[in-house]
Amino acid sequence: MRRKQFTALLVIGTMILGTLSGCSKGTAANGNSSKEDGGIKEFTAFFAVPGNEINDDNEIQQHIAEITGARVKETWLTGQTAEEAVGTLIAGGEYPDFICGSDGTSQLYDAGALVPLDDYIDDYPNIKNFFTKLEWDQLRQDDGHIYWIPQFNNSYGKEMATTHNDEAFWIQTRVLKWAGYPKITTMDEYFDLIERYQEANPTMEDGTKNIPYTILCDDWRYFCLENAPLFLDGYANDGSCIVDPETKKVIDYNTTPTAKRYFQKLNEEFKKGIVDPESFTQIYDEYIAKLSTGRVLGMIDQWWDFYGNVNDALKQQGLEDQGCNYVPLPITIDKGVKNRWHTSGDTLNVGSGLSITVSCKDVRGALKFVDDLLSEEVITLRNWGEKDVDYLVDQDGLFYRTPEIRMKVSNTAYKASHLCPYSYFPIWTGMSQDGINAAKPELQPNEFLDSLPKNVQECLQAYGCKTYVDMVGQNEIPGPWYPIYTFVGTMTTATPGGTAWIKMRELKHEYLPKVVMAPDFEAGWEEYLSAYETCNPQAFLDEVQPEVDRRIKIAEEAAAK
Amino acid sequence: MAPIGKVKKESINWKEIKKQRVLLLLSAGYVLYGFIFCYLPLAGWLMAFENYKPKEGFFHSEFIGLGKFRQLFLDDGFIKVIRNTLAMGVINLVTTMVTAIVFAILLNEVKSQGGKKVVQTISYLPHFLSWIIVTGILHDALSGTGIVNDLLVRFHLLKEPLNFFAYPKYFWWIVAFANVWKETGWNAIIYLASITAIDTSLYEAAAIDGAGRWARIKYITLPGIKPTIIILLLMNAGNVLNAGFEVQYLLGNGLVQSVSQTIDIYVLKWGISQGDYSLGTAAGIFKSVVSIAIILIANEMAKRAGEERLF
């Protein structure tokens, strides 16, 4: 009897111990870091932006691991906002080795989750040379340390702008072709063209009904609805408000006369059935699916938000021949207002970047990996792929692709099994370090032209343009504060301005769609205005203005030196 | 069941413990589980009373007493989410219970054993789908080009497709429908089980006395499962404030946010997204306290009515 009892106790005891040790093992593996695997270090990374995960046995990733001695398992945002994902990580207190917090970066900083990098940077030449001293200084937080490395918009050699990687009124080339490539510069002309086209061609070639104009309004992506008034008035993309380049004053674009005209136009078009009735209830995936069928004639969006999935889908389905690709138009509210949809030059986003977290056990190893990723050999692998497989080299050393290769690299399965861009690690754009080639295929002048779908080539030619950028024109960066959204992204509910900003966003998300759908526009607009005032937008503007002044002052001081 | 006669109250002695040692050992695991996962985390409630900052941690954050609760109740947004949560909770509770009971009784009346089994299996399958799939189907079915609009337009009930998700007035009912579709079959199982427990001789006797089907349902089946209904009602009443998170989160959009957001979404939005963990915890505490209160009140009411009760 005794013995039996003892055995039972023993069994239960071991079970409990087993569970406990299982727990502790689990945590160790989570907060993991470089566990050696055949000499190759394994790191983890989380990027608080949507992305496509690649296969574990990805070929180029393996190749890069052989060169650098490290591999990173990347995970991306799915079905959450950046703040939610980051907030959950903070609440748990365990982080991946690398992180890009996107909109949640300031939360990570506040939580003390990031490792200060400034003591290390000098030891890694490729990282050090990624920015100038002034740029590194701009990245210092209020405690004087540098916590993240912005990954993008950093041109090596000269800038090679071919795509308008920003927001615009986009339109399918078939619409422009049908109308004989007219000059379209105002919002009224744009919608008029779409209306006329839709009346003449209500369906696609296979009989699918066109959707004349759709508006993405899902979560944070509702910028496709709300920030057009800023651009229509001819200001550059400061994001959350207008900063007047003349007076250096912050202006709210949500209630301007232009805003009213823009929403009134949308309201009219909604009633006419031009605006997709599902605009405000569709989710991002549904929106991308719609665009991928080639049914949507036009929309406002950021190029990076749609081109990857949509252009590849159009190519794979042969819809390029029907003229379903999108080009940007230089739209403003009235003739004579100069458009600033595109700004040239590198805009440093000081608000977020790649960070290393306090859970990383091998900070030096992680930084060495980032450093190696910036070497010429690896950059070429990341951007172009494998030589003779994903690109060919002509006798002058210029890289190019054949139509077969282009078709192959736009295939989703191939992208997952073969290509490995490590796209949220710092990356040079502009020129390659060999001095001959552009950093990326889409920036290589001959490759860019050859890879353009025929309908886009034709369209650009008709307008006398060589690139997407030529369609909307180049503009200088308006001033040293630009873009101010990098500051607004760091505002939190700790200040009245930050709270106001969150309330404004939430309110606009509900009321602006209502305004567009309102049977009586004037009444709907009045309702919106009075509700908007309750958010106390002035508190928000009052907190942005000092930051604009501060940035101008820093730039002036640096110039004086 | 109410005890029959008086039970002699025995003091527990070692002999008794020894006799039940296997049972005690078996339950030890569950007690431990409950302690670790249900009681230990309660220490985190402390966060609601301080201005918690992850960097400063638990012990160095500033203590602010009831400040966060004050902030909570001064926020119109919070009052709105309480309303939404209660409304959806009650609608869900009533609709899912009624449909499950009706479904169980109907199924019980089916004479063919094979047919009954097939229907039962099919009807509880949706229970095993995750909400992300169910909401995906629903989003598709109710969209402008979805099957529901297609049917309504073809039968001339509507002139033009109606975008169901654009109008706040439909939202609660869509959520209720989703719950009913997903859970009716599953919830019916327990009622079916309790119907089978009813003595068949009662039915035979009633049939001899001339009771028809309807009368048998009314006078035998329903009273027979009444204790089960009351117990489940009591247990679910405590869940009213758990009106859901995934459904509303996945089906909601900007236009309906004023009716779609529940307390859980509020906690996620302010507690996690905006990093105000204290406010989120305060909202969570409020929810737990109200849930406990609802259970206690419902239990007391059941007791007064002389019905079955939880404790």
Indicate yes or no: CB of A15 within 8 angstroms of CB of B29: yes
Q: CA end-to-end span of chain A, whole Å?
A: 89
Smallest CA–CA separation between B144 and chain A, in Å? 7
Type of residue at A395: Q
Nearest residue in A to B251, CA atom: A281
Residues 6+ apart with CB under 8 A from A476: A343, A344, A345
For strand A40-50 and strand A70-77, is the pairing parallel, antiparallel, or unpaired?
Answer: parallel
pLDDT at residue A256 in the model: 95
Phi then psi dihedrals of residue A426, to 5 deg: -50, 140
pLDDT at residue A540 in the model: 96
> What is the ipTM, given to two decimal places?
0.79
Q: A391: closest CA among A416, A412, A375, A408?
A: A408
Indicate yes or no: CB of A87 within 8 angstroms of CB of B273: yes
- Across the A:B interface, residue pairs with CB atoms under 8 Å apart total 91
- Which residues of chain B neighbour A223 with C-beta distances below 8 Å? none
Partnered with residue A73 across adjacent β-strands are A44
pLDDT at residue A471 in the model: 94
| DSSP H or E segment with residue A118 | helix A118-121
Smallest CA–CA separation between A218 and chain B, in Å? 7
| DSSP H or E segment with residue A460 | helix A454-462
Indicate yes or no: CB of A91 within 8 angstroms of CB of B143: no
- Tokens encoding B145: 């080009």
Percent of residues in chain A assigned helix, strand, coil, to nearest 5: 50, 15, 40
Q: Does A552 touch chain B (CB under 8 A)?
A: no
Q: Does B41 touch chain A (CB under 8 A)?
A: no
The separation between CA B209 and the C-alpha centre of its own chain, rounded to angstroms, equals 40
Q: What angle do CA B289, B292, B293 make, to 5 degrees?
A: 85
For B276-296, write each residue's pLDDT tens digit: 889 999 999 999 999 999 989
pLDDT at residue B9 in the model: 60
User: Digits of tens for pLDDT over chain B (311 positions)?
Assistant: 444 445 556 667 888 888 888 999 999 999 999 999 999 989 989 989 998 888 888 888 889 889 899 989 988 889 999 999 999 999 999 999 999 999 999 999 888 889 999 999 999 999 999 999 999 999 889 888 889 999 999 998 888 888 899 999 999 999 999 999 999 999 999 999 999 999 989 999 999 998 888 999 999 999 999 999 998 998 888 888 888 898 999 998 889 999 999 999 999 988 888 888 899 999 999 999 999 999 899 889 888 887 777 77
Q: Does A83 touch chain B (CB under 8 A)?
A: yes
Q: Left (φ > 0), alpha (ψ -120 to 50) or beta: where does A218 sit?
A: beta
- Which residues of chain A neighbour B163 with C-beta distances below 8 Å? 277-278, 281
Indicate yes or no: CB of B258 within 8 angstroms of CB of A510: yes
Of B32, B254, B272, the CB nearest to A222: B254
Q: Does B22 touch chain A (CB under 8 A)?
A: yes
Q: What angle do CA A135, A137, A141 make, to 5 degrees?
A: 120
Q: Does A527 touch chain B (CB under 8 A)?
A: no
pLDDT at residue B89 in the model: 94
Asked if A404 and A392 count as a contact pair (C-beta separation under 8 A), the reply is no
Q: Which of residues 105-144 of B touch A (CB under 8 A)?
A: 132, 139, 143-144
Convert A177-229 into a string of H (helix), E (strand) and C (coil).
HHCCCCCCCEHHHHHHHHHHHHHHCCECCCCCECEEECCCCCHHHHHHHHCHH
Indicate yes or no: CB of A510 within 8 angstroms of CB of B254: yes
Q: Which of residues 254-293 of A touch B (CB under 8 A)?
A: 277-278, 280-283, 286
Of A12, A502, A513, the CB nearest to B274: A502
Q: How far is B302 from B234, CA to CA, in rounded Å?
A: 8
pLDDT at residue A3 in the model: 53
For A338-370, write each residue's pLDDT tens digit: 999 998 777 788 888 999 999 999 999 999 999
Tell which of B55, B135, B255, B261 to mutate to test the A interface (max A CBs under 10 Å).
B255
Asked if A298 and A170 count as a contact pair (C-beta separation under 8 A), the reply is yes
Q: How far is A434 from A428, CA to CA, in rounded Å?
A: 13
Q: What is the pTM of this model?
A: 0.83
pLDDT at residue B307 in the model: 76
- Is A146 in a helix, a strand, or coil? strand
Place of tokens 């991928």: A292
Indicate yes or no: CB of A110 within 8 angstroms of CB of B55: yes
Phi then psi dihedrals of residue B147, to 5 deg: -65, -35
Indicate yes or no: CB of B258 within 8 angstroms of CB of A16: no
Asked if A382 and A420 count as a contact pair (C-beta separation under 8 A), the reply is yes
Q: Which of residues 247-266 of B touch A (CB under 8 A)?
A: 250, 253-255, 257-258
Of B139, B253, B272, the CB nearest to A280: B253
Residues 6+ apart with CB under 8 A from B39: none
- Which residues of chain B neighbour A15 with C-beta distances below 8 Å? 29
pLDDT at residue A5 in the model: 57
Indicate yes or no: CB of A84 within 8 angstroms of CB of B273: yes
Neighbours of A136 (CB within 10 A): 16
Indicate yes or no: CB of B54 within 8 angstroms of CB of A280: no
pLDDT at residue A13 in the model: 54
pLDDT at residue A128 in the model: 94
How many residues does the structure list for chain B? Answer: 311
Of B255, B270, B271, the CB nearest to A514: B255
- Which residues of chain B neighbour A93 with C-beta distances below 8 Å? 54
Residues 6+ apart with CB under 8 A from A395: none
pLDDT at residue A432 in the model: 86
Q: Does B284 touch chain A (CB under 8 A)?
A: no
- Cβ burial, residue B33 (10 Å; 0-12/13-18/19+): exposed
pLDDT at residue A522 in the model: 97
CA dihedral A243, A328, A404, A432 (to 10 degrees): -30
- Which residues of chain A neighbour B277 with C-beta distances below 8 Å? 91
Q: Which residues of chain A have pLDDT under 70?
A: 1-38
For strand A98-100 and strand A355-356, is the pairing parallel, antiparallel, or unpaired?
Answer: antiparallel
- Which residues of chain B neighbour A218 with C-beta distances below 8 Å? 253
pLDDT at residue A160 in the model: 75
Indicate yes or no: CB of A112 within 8 angstroms of CB of B55: yes
pLDDT at residue B14 in the model: 86
Q: How far is CA B73 from each of CA A66, A158, B52, B66, rounded to the nearest angstrom? A: 58, 56, 19, 11
Of A83, A281, A502, the CB nearest to B255: A281
Query: Residue A159 has what DSSP assignment?
Result: -
Alpha helices in A329-383 (DSSP H): 363-373, 376-383
For strand A155-156 and strand A392-393, is the pairing parallel, antiparallel, or unpaired?
Answer: unpaired
Q: Does A218 touch chain B (CB under 8 A)?
A: yes
